[in-house]
Amino acid sequence: MISFIGTGIMGNSMAGNLLKEGHELTVYNRTKEKAQNLLDNGAAWADSPKEAAAKSSILFSMLTNPSAVEKTALGENGFLAGMKEGSLWIDCSTVPPDFSRKMAEEAAKRGIRFLDAPVAGSKIPAEKGELVFLVGGKEEDLKEAEPLLNIMGKAVKHQGENGKGTSMKLVINLTLAQAMAAFSEAVALGEAMELDKETVLDTLLGGATAAPFLQGKKSKLLENSFNPEFPLEHMQKDLHLVSEAAYNNGISLPLASAAKELYGLAKQQGFGQDDFSSVYAFIKQKK
């Protein structure tokens, strides 16, 4: 039996793919309505994280931020109190590496194994089972989890010990945020010089300077429609985690700091729940 904690934009599709493959699944989410489609498709509901954990030997969590993970794991009726000794907790949340190591220690105190396994990919890859898992933890634990990860994703990349999976996730999201911001500025400049927006997009996307993921953002920029696949406020949060990691490791990241403030201003101006590609709309001020 598998438990899944957190059925938001990403977790819902990930859990759904496990169900499609015939796995018995117990789910918990702070808002039950966000798990209703899973319940309709055969998942069992738990009234608390602890209750969900008691029904499984493998537990996945996919939560918004470190405080949500800590509260759900260690708070009143937290799932660590319900997990059996020898069980495996796989945290797919984007959190600081030091926090992942702390959670690994908390799990170990209770005889529970732990993998940090954040994902590269957003809503559509999650729906298609095409995520990339970036995993920190013991190889033997990963081997046990890998068949399930392969249902939800197209690749599993072992990064090393606990905390290394979340470290790599921050590296990836930094490049995503910066690439999206630079691309948005380039398109905005082209428009300011009275170039046709679609021509600018096609030319940039057909060249060597645009990151491959930007092709999937073309329609959003072209139509000024930013339904969230990965909300801007989440990207801003991740950039804050990048800034903390840089400070903790004695490295200066001036471009990361500029990107963090850009996304922070966009959030402040009301773009937080739009897709992170709406940083283009913030630059253009076409909300």
Q: What band does 215 get if pLDDT is binned at 50, 70 and 90?
A: very high
Is 132 in the same domain as 9? Answer: yes
Per-residue CA distances from 15 to 137, 159, 225, 241 (Å): 22, 24, 27, 26
Is 156 in the same domain as 172? Answer: no
The DSSP string of 30-42 is: SSGGGGHHHHHTT
Question: What would the mean pLDDT of 253-262 be, rounded to a whole number?
Answer: 97
Is 179 in the same domain as 135? Answer: no
Tell me what pLDDT residue 286 has: 52
Question: Is the pLDDT reported for residue 100 higher than 60?
Answer: yes
Domain that holds residue 201: 168-284
pLDDT in tens, 38-96: 999 999 999 999 999 998 999 999 999 999 999 999 999 999 999 999 999 999 999 99
Tell me what pLDDT residue 209 has: 93
Residue 178 phi, psi (nearest 5): -70, -40
Tell me what pLDDT residue 287 has: 46
Q: What band does 208 get if pLDDT is binned at 50, 70 and 90?
A: very high
Question: Is the pLDDT reported for residue 255 higher than 70?
Answer: yes
pLDDT in tens, 197-206: 999 999 999 9
Last residue of a domain, one of 112, 135, 161: 161
Catalytic residue among 169, 217, 220, 267: 169
pLDDT in tens, 173-199: 999 999 999 999 999 999 999 999 999
* Residues 115, 116, 120, 121, CA torsion sign: positive
Is 153 in the same domain as 182? Answer: no
Is 182 in the same domain as 280? Answer: yes
Last residue of a domain, one of 130, 161, 192: 161
Counting beta carbons within 10 angstroms of the beta carbon of residue 37, is it exposed (0 to 12), middle (13 to 18) or buried (19 or more)?
Answer: middle
Decide if 51 contacts 20 (C-beta within 8 A).
no
Residue 196's SS3 state is: coil
Is 48 in the same domain as 98? Answer: yes
Q: What is the CATH number of the domain that holds 179?
A: 1.10.1040.10
Is 89 in the same domain as 215? Answer: no
Q: What band does 285 get if pLDDT is binned at 50, 70 and 90?
A: confident
Q: What band does 217 get if pLDDT is binned at 50, 70 and 90?
A: very high
- Rounded to two decimals, what is the model's pTM? 0.93
Is 177 in the same domain as 271? Answer: yes
Is 136 in the same domain as 178? Answer: no
Q: What band does 240 get if pLDDT is binned at 50, 70 and 90?
A: very high
Tell me what pLDDT residue 55 has: 86
Q: What is the CATH number of the domain that holds 8?
A: 3.40.50.720
Largest CA distance in the chain: 64
CA dist 287 and 142 (Å) reads: 44
Is 147 in the same domain as 35? Answer: yes
pLDDT in tens, 116-169: 999 999 999 999 999 999 999 999 999 999 999 999 999 999 999 999 999 999
Is 31 in the same domain as 157? Answer: yes
Last residue of a domain, one of 141, 161, 181: 161
* Count of domains observed in the chain: 2
Q: Is residue 169 annotated as a catalytic residue, yes or no?
A: yes
Tell me what pLDDT residue 257 has: 97
Is 90 in the same domain as 151? Answer: yes
Residue 91 phi, psi (nearest 5): -95, 115
Question: Is the pLDDT reported for residue 114 higher than 60?
Answer: yes
